[in-house]
Structure 1
Amino acid sequence: MIPATTPLVGFSGKIIWPLGQRSLLVKIGDEEHSTSAWMNFMVVRSPSPYNGIIGRPRVRRIQAVQSTTHGMLKFPVAGGTVTLRSSMIIPLECTMVSGPGVPQPLINQVAEEKIQVAIHPEYPEQTVAIGSTLTEKGRRELCSLLKRNLDIFAWKPADMTGVPRHIAEHMLNIHEGCLPVRQKKRGQAPERNKAIYKEVEKLVDADIMKEVHYHSWLSNPVMVKKITVAEECAWILKT
């Protein structure tokens, strides 16, 4: 991996310093018709719903034409043109980035693409999302497979202990020599304080968190209510 010295700026204005960059030969299409091109990827340590994002320069390189309205991508190959179709989720995300005018029928279609299924009898409130395009037989087989492997999922905070650092490790995205940031402590409403203490106790009991008496950093907690995808889309429309 080649070092990268240029920072990346997200939609929220957050600056992310890449771990490096790597050129990979990317093949797009199917087994019968495809095209290949060398593409330069910036590797970042940041949560994302995508494994990789192809920028406009690389889209031009494969001579592709995309339509967010129809959720389609076309590009020439030897012997014709290949057409790729996406799900309704991708156009919705692109539309939400460009503006708030997302029609309600489109949101309903996206919400219908996922089915919430409870697979653990002891945790019925915790569900997994399964695509609604699966057949009834495929849905039963997938649920059966998940139920046979319940031990690989984390159902409570105590299940997440003992993860090796080479698998998962949290790091602060700061430069060496920067002074610690200490925010002014803000109070919380009584009902929020109760919820915060309840969640903190779960993490402390599971040895995920520990109490620090002389900390150099201070960041106030920000409480966010858990909502469904449909509720989130509706909230975006209102704002």
Structure 2
Amino acid sequence: MPHLEEHEVQRLPLNISAVITGHKVARIHVDGGSRVEVIYEHCFLRFDWDVRDRLEEDSIPLVGFNNSVSHPLGKIRLPFTVGVGDHVRTITLTFTVVQVPSKYNAILGRPGIGDLQAHASTPHGALVFQTPKGLAWVKFSYEVVSYVSDGDMTGIPRSLIEHRLNTYIWVQPVKQKKRSMGPSKRRAECEETRKLLKAGIVREVK
């Protein structure tokens, strides 16, 4: 890993984004001290029913750093894709599903870091590993992209940008009241929509 000047050192937790079983998942905490991969229930429930139905029984409790004990809902093997651009790797990981409150969606622990043959560096704010196309540097996911040109939007996998509502089939839809926007916001909305249409990200429907 390259040398860092003092002002370049990252001091935030190393959190990344990845695609798990076709779903873009953010706030994945990289924790080399965890002996298992974890998915929290609030994230697991967003997966499709046919995925959730593959959950297997797991009776081994998890013990936290403060000696708190959590009994998992089960375990499941899922494809885990991580990388940048065409520098990506896909591996299959066994996740333990737990029902505890957390600001994270999942934890990438020692087994997953080992399977990726990755080096996790909190000071660099990056997870580094080899891919068939070369070395991938996955930066911590606190960065915000302020502008994306029309040309940058093409070729983005649909699974990364498509919004899906995976809810219970018996839930009735609720119509929200109409919310009006001012003239400047309406102009900005129209301009952004034109960009998405031009890039082929969205299409007009009746």
- Same fold at TM > 0.5: no
Does 1 or 2 have the higher relative contact order (CA < 8 Å, sep 6+)? 2
Instruction: Please give the range of the TM-score, normalised by the shorter of the 2 chains.
Output: 0.3 to 0.5
Instruction: Provide TM-score, normalisation by structure 2.
Output: 0.42
Which protein has the bigger strand share? Answer: 2
Instruction: Provide TM-score, normalisation by structure 1.
Output: 0.37
